[in-house]
Amino acid sequence: MMLDIAGGSGAHAIGALQKWPHLKGTVYEMSPVSGFVSEYAKQYGLSDRLFSVTGDMWKDPFAPADLHFYSQVFHDWTSEKCRFLTEKSFAALPSGGRLIVHELLLDRDKAGPLVPSLMTMVMLLWTEGRQYSEVELTEMLQGAGFVDV
């Protein structure tokens, strides 16, 4: 079971379910956004495999899953809040569970590439977050207890 955390419409979950017919997915999202997932599931013939759970990722427990997926979530938040999410995922996942973080990555020295650098400037204007490097995300994941990052 894939849990798409802050997954919006479920676009990533839909793509994954189309690719892997054995996979089931849940989009974890705040109301009223979570209400749209069932419409998209029906549209793509996935009503029997794609579900939604309404919740607040900062306060509410995650739905059961063996894969957590965050797409373009971490760049909205401080490193402390991202660490909270990785620790929460680690605690919620079963042994052998996986976490996927989908972000634009900065280079090790954070001087590039261009697109993630520009996105960092955008994030600084309207969120509390920024783009992270692979090193920073690896440290967050390992710090939470994940192995084979």
* CATH code of the domain in which 140 resides: 3.40.50.150
Q: Which listed residue (12, 22, 68, 75) is catalytic?
A: 75
- Domain-embedded: residue 15: yes
For the question of residue 75 being annotated catalytic, the response is: yes
> Does residue 124 lie within any of the structural domains?
no
Total count of domains within the chain: 1
Whether residue 118 lies inside any domain: the answer is: no
Residue 137 lies in a domain: yes
Q: Give me the domain span that covers residue 13.
A: 2-104+132-144
Nearest to 44, CA basis, from 70, 66, 11, 72: 11
Q: Is residue 30 part of a domain?
A: yes
Residue 121 lies inside a defined structural domain of this protein: no
What are the Cα distances from residue 131, in Å, to 5, 80, 96? 18, 14, 27
Q: What is the pLDDT of residues 51-90, one digit of tens each?
A: 999 999 999 999 999 999 999 999 999 999 999 999 999 9
Residue 109 lies in a domain: no
Q: What is the mean pLDDT of the chain?
A: 94
57: left (phi over 0), alpha (psi -120 to 50) or beta: alpha
pTM for the predicted model, two decimal places: 0.92
